[in-house]
């Protein structure tokens, strides 16, 4: 269901052209899949859109790059038996994460969702049905995908859903960002991820760490999938290595200025 959530550029050529074209067109945001270009180990990557461009629409992909801080996020379209272990590890390290969930997940895993909330994690909006939101040009159709999930969440946990949104598959358009902003949502992209979603070809511990650790950078918004058995198995080691490297863990709330409806 979430097999296209990560779209990372391996080189810089195409992304450079996209960014240059955006400048030439007056800093217009390109439509398509969120992408990253890593140019230097340990340094923040360049995103398909710049931080300033995204900021106009209450969107972000990076946090404070002047501080050794990481923002841990998980996407989940279904439960694969890994979330309890992930939550246990987060609790052990006293790390608060954000879980971006779809309707199917909340409907089938209410106890896990309630546990996330009880243990201080943020549950964000990944839409009700996980469609390509860039194809929804009608405001009402776009709004229903978010509002239906928010209503389901409130019925499940007894409190309003925090207004943080992650586009399914990382596919977005400038119009989408405007509509999300009009609905009071902050859009959360990411600056560090790897191919962890394919349950038929899970990476080994060594492969996972070799992808994540060299690309770790100050202010990184980390995207992992809670469906990944590898992630569940390595999370304790991964968090320990990040802690030993001097990183602290922030929350998605810290990515944006404080606002009453996000508390």
Q: Does residue 159 lie in a domain region?
A: yes
Number of domains in the chain: 1
Better-scored residue on pLDDT, 263 or 223? 223
Contact assessment for residue 81 and residue 211, using Cβ atoms and an 8 Å cutoff: no
State both tokens at 130: 């996980």
pLDDT, tens only, 134-163: 999 999 999 999 999 999 999 999 999 999
pLDDT at 83: 98
Helices then strands, each counted (H, E), the chain? 9, 12
Contact assessment for residue 57 and residue 178, using Cβ atoms and an 8 Å cutoff: yes
pLDDT at 204: 98
Helix axis angle, 174-182 to 139-157, nearest 10°? 50
Domain that holds residue 238: 13-262
> Which residues have C-beta within 8 Å of that of residue 35, sequence separation ≥ 6?
7, 8, 9, 15, 18, 47, 48
DSSP character at residue 66:
T
DSSP character at residue 185:
P
- Nearest CA-CA partner of 86 in 238, 231, 237: 231
H or E stretch covering 84:
helix 83-93
The answer on pLDDT for 256 being more than 90 is yes
Q: Does residue 133 lie in a domain region?
A: yes
pLDDT at 25: 40
Kindly list the catalytic residues.
75, 225
Contact assessment for residue 69 and residue 248, using Cβ atoms and an 8 Å cutoff: yes
The answer on pLDDT for 20 being more than 80 is no
Q: How far, in Å, CA of 107 to CA of 105, rounded?
A: 5
Q: How far, in Å, CA of 260 to CA of 262, rounded?
A: 5
pLDDT, tens only, 84-96: 999 999 999 999 9
Q: Does residue 2 lie in a domain region?
A: no
Q: Does residue 238 lie in a domain region?
A: yes
The alpha carbons of the chain give a radius of gyration, in whole angstroms, of 17
Beta bridge partners of 223: 73
pLDDT, tens only, 159-185: 999 999 999 999 999 999 999 999 999
CATH code, domain carrying 135:
3.20.20.370
Helix axis angle, 205-212 to 229-244, nearest 10°? 50
Q: Does residue 84 lie in a domain region?
A: yes
Burial class (CB in 10 A: 0-12, 13-18, 19+), 260: exposed
For 153, phi then psi, to 5°, come to -60, -45
pLDDT at 27: 58
State both tokens at 73: 């996020």
Q: What is the pTM of this model?
A: 0.89
- Nearest CA-CA partner of 91 in 112, 110, 119, 69: 119
Q: Does residue 24 lie in a domain region?
A: yes
Q: Does residue 4 lie in a domain region?
A: no
Label the pairing between strands 171-172 and 32-33: antiparallel
Q: Does residue 1 lie in a domain region?
A: no
């Amino acid at each position: 269901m979430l097999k296209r959530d990560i779209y990372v550029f391996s080189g810089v050529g195409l992304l450079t052209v996209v960014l240059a074209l955006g400048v030439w067109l007056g800093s217009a945001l390109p439509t398509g899949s969120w992408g990253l270009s890593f140019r230097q180990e340990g340094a923040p990557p360049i995103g398909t859109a710049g931080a300033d461009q995204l900021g106009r629409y209450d969107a972000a992909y990076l946090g404070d790059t002047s501080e050794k801080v990481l923002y841990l996020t998980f996407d989940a379209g279904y439960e694969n038996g890994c979330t309890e272990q992930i939550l246990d590890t987060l609790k052990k390290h006293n790390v608060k994460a954000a879980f971006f969930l779809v309707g199917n997940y909340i409907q089938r895993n209410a106890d896990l969702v309630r546990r996330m909330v009880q243990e201080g994690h943020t549950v964000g909006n990944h839409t009700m049905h996980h469609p390509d939101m860039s194809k929804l040009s009608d405001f009402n159709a776009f709004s229903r995908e978010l509002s239906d999930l928010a209503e389901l969440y409130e019925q499940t946990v007894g409190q309003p859903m925090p207004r943080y949104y992650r586009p399914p598959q990382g596919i977005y358009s400038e119009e989408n960002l405007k509509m999300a902003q009009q609905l009071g949502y902050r859009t959360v992209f990411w600056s560090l991820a790897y191919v962890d979603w394919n349950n038929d070809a899970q990476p080994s511990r060594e492969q996972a760490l070799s992808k994540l650790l060299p690309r770790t950078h100050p202010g990184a918004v980390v995207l992992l999938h809670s469906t990944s058995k590898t992630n569940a198995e390595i999370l304790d080691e991964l968090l320990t290595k990040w802690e030993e490297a001097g990183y602290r863990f922030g929350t998605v709330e810290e990515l944006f200025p404080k606002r009453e409806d996000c508390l």
